[in-house]
Structure 1
Amino acid sequence: MSSKILVREACVETVAECVLAERRGANRLELCSDLANDGLTPSEELLDAVMAQVDIQIKAMVRPCAGGFLYTKDEIKQMEEEIAFFKSKGVYGVVFGVTTADNNLDIPVIKRLAELAKPMNVCVHKAIDSVNDTWADFQRLYHEVPEVDAVLTSGGEPTAKDGAALLRKMTELGGEKLKVVVAGKVTNDNIDELFELIGSPEYHGKKIVGPLV
Structure 2
Amino acid sequence: MSTRAVLEVIALDAEDAIAAQAGGADRLELVTDMAADGLTPSVETFVAIRAAVDIPLRVMLRLADGFAAGEVRRLVEVAGRMREAGAEEFVLGFLDAHGGVDLDAVESVAGALAGCRWTFHRAIDRAADRDALRKSLDGMPGLDTYLTAGAAGGVDEGLPVLLAEAGRRGEPGYEQQILVGGGLRLEHVPQLVAAGADAFHIGGAARPGGWQEPVSAPAVAEWRAVLDGTPQGA
Provide the rounded CA distance (Å) in 2 between the counterparts of 1:92 and 1:194.
32
Which one has the largest radius of gyration?
A: 2
Map of 1:114 onto structure 2: 110
Determine the C-alpha separation between the residues in 2 that align with 1:31 and 1:210: 15
TM-score normalised to the size of structure 1?
0.86
The answer to whether 1:69 aligns with 2:64 is no
Moved more, 53-62 or 149-158: 149-158
**Are 1:167 and 2:162 an aligned pair?**
yes
Point out where structure 2 has 5 or more consecutive residues left out of the alignment: 209-214, 217-234
- 1:190 counterpart SS class: helix
Contact 1:5–1:202 (CA under 8 A) maintained in structure 2: no
Q: Does the CA contact (< 8 Å) of 1:58 and 1:93 recur in 2? A: yes
Letter in 1 for 2:44: E
The Cα of 1:159 is off from its aligned counterpart by 1.9
Paired with 2:73 and 2:191, the residues of 1 have a C-alpha distance of: 37
CA distance in 1, matches of 2:120, 2:75: 13
Residue aligning to 1:129: 125
Q: CA, structure 1 residues 78+194, in 2 after alignment: closer, same or farther (shift >3 Å)?
A: farther
Alignment of 1:184-203 (within 5 A): 184-187=182-185, 189-190=186-187, 192-196=189-193, 198-203=195-200
Q: For the Cα contact (< 8 Å) 2:100–2:133, is it kept in 1? A: yes
| Sequence identity percentage | 27
1:150 equivalent in structure 2: 145
The count of residues paired between Structure 1 and Structure 2 equals 207
Q: Secondary structure, in 3 states, of the residue corresponding to 1:204? A: strand
- Find the aligned partners of 2:127 and 2:158 in 1 and give their Cα distance: 14
**Stretch moving more, 202-211 or 130-139:** 202-211
In the aligned structure 1, how far is the partner of 2:24 from the partner of 2:206?
Answer: 7
Q: Specify the alignment match of 1:180 in structure 2.
A: 178
Structural RMSD (CA): 2.3
Letter in 1 for 2:49: V
